[in-house]
Amino acid sequence: DKFIEIQADPKPIVTIQDAKATNQILVSRRLDRLRGEQKPEQEKFTKLIEELSNNPDIIQFKHHIYTPPQEQLYLEVQGSSVFVTEDHIVLNAGTQNQKGTQTSVATVLGLNYADVVVNTKRLGGGFGGKEGCFIYSCLAAIAAQKLKKPISLFLDYADDIMYTGKRHEAEVDGTLYFNKVTKKFVFLDVIGLMEGGYSTDLSPAVLERFVYHLDNAYFFESARFIGEVCKTNSRSNTAFRGFGAPQAILFIETMLQSFCMRYHYSLNEIRAINFYKSGDKTPFGQVVDKAPIQEAYEQTLEKSKYDTIKKSVDQFNETHDNLKQGVAFCPLKFGVSFGQSFLNQGHALIHIYTDGSIAVSHMGIEMGQGLNTRLLQVVCQDMKIEQKYVKILETSTLTTANTAPTSASSGYDLNAGAIRNALSKIKEQMGEFYQKYESGELTWGAACNAAWFNRRCLSSVGHYAHPISGFNFQTQQGQPFYYFAASGAMVHVQINKKTGEYQLLKAELVVDVGKSVNPLIDLGQIEGAFIQGVGWLTTEELLYKNGLIDGKIKRTGRYTTSGPGNYKVPSIFDIPCEFNVNLLKGQFNEHIVYGSKGVGEPPLCLGVCAFLALREAAGEDLRAPATIMNVWRAK
């Protein structure tokens, strides 16, 4: 055999370290706040650091953490079916973002947006992975237009994992300046690097949510948060439930845990002293108002019996060498809204027929989160009618144009607002006939029929938009979030230091959902999101193929992971033995229809608590994800 030696320059960039060494940056964002001043000159930070370094009351603590990638592992792979009709290119697409799919297909085919129709009945899971991936719909549409035949294109599962984007892995470094007299945080200086892949995709939005959440539930007098997305020669990473918030929460919570381990402080005491109070401002200048952080903290510790468990854990560890236990608490403050203000709008189209039946079209995508059920409840409660009259139609760009993605825990907020807006118009148009229905003089069907006979319009378009400005990173002014949700979690674990095996003994969650529209749906969402967050930091590990690079065995950009067979999502054996979910008491969100709060993403961040508990038991050098091997290696 003959071999040909090929020397390629530049060499492929496949890791964050490679990209950093060659200054390959796709996008960067920063937040600067110094003692109440937004966007101060950088020289002021230099002076602040010098001042704090010379202050004997200040402890300076450095921290680094790696946050791993995560595969969405939705049951339904990426794909679309495309049909060419006389009037339109019609796609039945598995997408969270119909407008993005529509505009991408129209662009590659050279058509107007109105020539392309995207229909979505439901998804077999999305988790953010179907928010920005339009290429497979485009490929199917090109073939359908060329051949004038229906085309279906769905990826093989192994190909889906190989080619589609994941949660951004990150390397985060930071320095905490802590006043040991007041026990308050003075300054937090952070730089986080994320692997973006070969293009930006949704990385800017992921990075922005990362820097927004580096403070978590804590007030810092001064903060400098810098985030950068690195360009690598690998698949383009994308959205995943929580966007960049889980990476940020993991960093700040492990930093505080390591700090308190090092200096022998009570972690919960330090947390409680530094929680946001009503009226405090975040590093991006937004006032924290009606975020029940303290209430979530107190209810979590009370319901979980944290103090009792902590004592039993300490006693257990004193009497056992190989088996060790850990218990941890984790708070959460999560901002709800799209970071890009133009996306914070919803659309709905409602038709009422003369028998009283109602057809509802909205822009949200049902993907197992119970969105349609909750919106059906809104229609029934607003119109005071039975559920049998209401039909939620599949989402289509023909009925609701210019849609925002179903993402950012905002699906209910935006669509419920739009539906209520449309229903209020119909009530006004029905006039005295709706009043006669309310008084019991007419049945619902008779009222609708009478309104039609009297030439009243029984259809309406609804629109709703969050009244917030959004945030400008150039000026560092504005309001990115409509409201905050606050929650807490306690996790109790046991590990075997000889084998690395472990078990989650108990998890207690207290989650702020405002006033729940449907508690059963919310409980299901919370349980699933939390376990998905636990999986990210415990069992789920994406494996890479190694190769000979520069004479050394190094990681390449190619996965050996190809599906559920070698990617371990949590199973029934990984669920906590005792798993309790509580809705935070006494909350009502006046901003949103019927007082609820977004529930899709925040509970995933609470999965960090399981990793904190494992660090308590295994040692602070435990690397994420906490696989059996990594727990065994930890000290």
- Half-sphere exposure for 171 (CA within 13 Å, toward CB): 9
Rounded CA gap, 412 and 585, in Å? 21
Rounded CA gap, 358 and 232, in Å? 50
User: By the 8 A CB rule, do 603 and 510 touch?
Assistant: no
Question: Environment class of residue 562 by beta-carbon count within 10 Å: exposed (0-12), middle (13-18) or buried (19+)?
Answer: middle
DSSP codes, 26-74: EEEEEEEEETTEES--HHHHHHHHHHHHT-TTEEEEEEEEEE-------
Whether 540 is catalytic:
no
> What own/partner pairs with CB < 8 Å and gap ≥ 24 does 148-154 have?
148/84, 149/84, 150/81, 150/82, 150/83, 150/84, 151/81, 151/82, 152/79, 152/80, 152/81, 152/82, 153/79, 153/80, 153/82, 154/77, 154/78, 154/79, 154/80
Rounded CA gap, 276 and 32, in Å? 18
Rounded CA gap, 237 and 198, in Å? 8
Please identify which of the residues 71, 208, 540, 601 carries the catalytic annotation: 601
Q: Give, as one character, the DSSP assignment of residue 605.
A: H
DSSP codes, 440-460: TSS-HHHHHHHHHHTT---EE
Strands 222-231, 390-392: pairing is unpaired
As annotated, the active-site residues are: 601
